């Protein structure tokens, strides 16, 4: 009879053991969420930079096809507001500038990290901006 009481009393987990397990699980969840969020930011930034390179290629093809002139500000505005322009992400983060048809600048705000915002034709963009400008 005494043995049954001892066995019954020793079965189960103590409160301390449960708290330790719950704490470990909570720490693992937090680490996982932080890693996932950072991976999402990096993926968004990569997509924005990829879109910039696609735009640069399109502008340079336009330059070759149309006699040494880039598109005007009107075309820049159209590209920014046209959902069929080929920008895959949140294209409201893009800044377009094509002042005279001789040069262009397109910048995008990155979610984290440093951009290259030292482009000559891109005024007013510092810090977390990635920019492209005319190659010709």
> Residue 30 has what pLDDT?
95
The three-state secondary structure class of 77 is helix
- At a CB cut-off of 8 Å and minimum separation 6, what does 88 contact? 47, 50, 51
CB atoms within 10 A of CB 83: 7
Question: Mean pLDDT over all residues of the chain?
Answer: 75
| pLDDT confidence bin for 83, thresholds 50/70/90 | very low
Instruction: Return the residue matching tokens 């930079």.
Output: 49
CB atoms within 10 A of CB 121: 17
> Residue 52 has what pLDDT?
85
| pTM strictly above 0.75 | no
Return the percentage of the chain with pLDDT > 90, whole number.
15
> Residue 91 has what pLDDT?
57
Q: Are 132 and 105 a contacting pair, CB within 8 Å?
A: yes
pLDDT tens digits, residue range 22-81?
999 999 999 999 889 888 888 888 888 898 888 888 888 878 887 767 666 556 655 555
Domain ranges of the chain: 18-133
DSSP 83: T
- Of 58-62, 99-103, 107-111, 121-125, the poorest mean pLDDT is in 121-125
């Amino acid at each position: 009879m005494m043995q049954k009481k001892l066995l019954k009393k020793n079965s189960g987990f103590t409160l301390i053991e449960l708290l330790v397990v719950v704490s470990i699980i909570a720490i693992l969840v937090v680490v996982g969420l932080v890693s996932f969020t950072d991976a999402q930011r990096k993926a968004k930034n990569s997509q924005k930079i990829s879109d910039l390179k696609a735009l640069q290629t399109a502008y340079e093809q336009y330059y070759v096809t149309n006699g040494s002139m880039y598109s005007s500000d009107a075309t820049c505005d159209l590209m920014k507001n046209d959902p069929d322009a080929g920008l895959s992400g949140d294209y409201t983060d893009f800044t377009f500038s094509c002042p005279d048809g001789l040069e262009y600048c397109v910048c995008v705000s990155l979610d984290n990290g440093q951009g290259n915002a030292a482009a000559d034709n891109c005024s007013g963009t510092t810090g977390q901006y990635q920019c492209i400008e005319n190659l010709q």
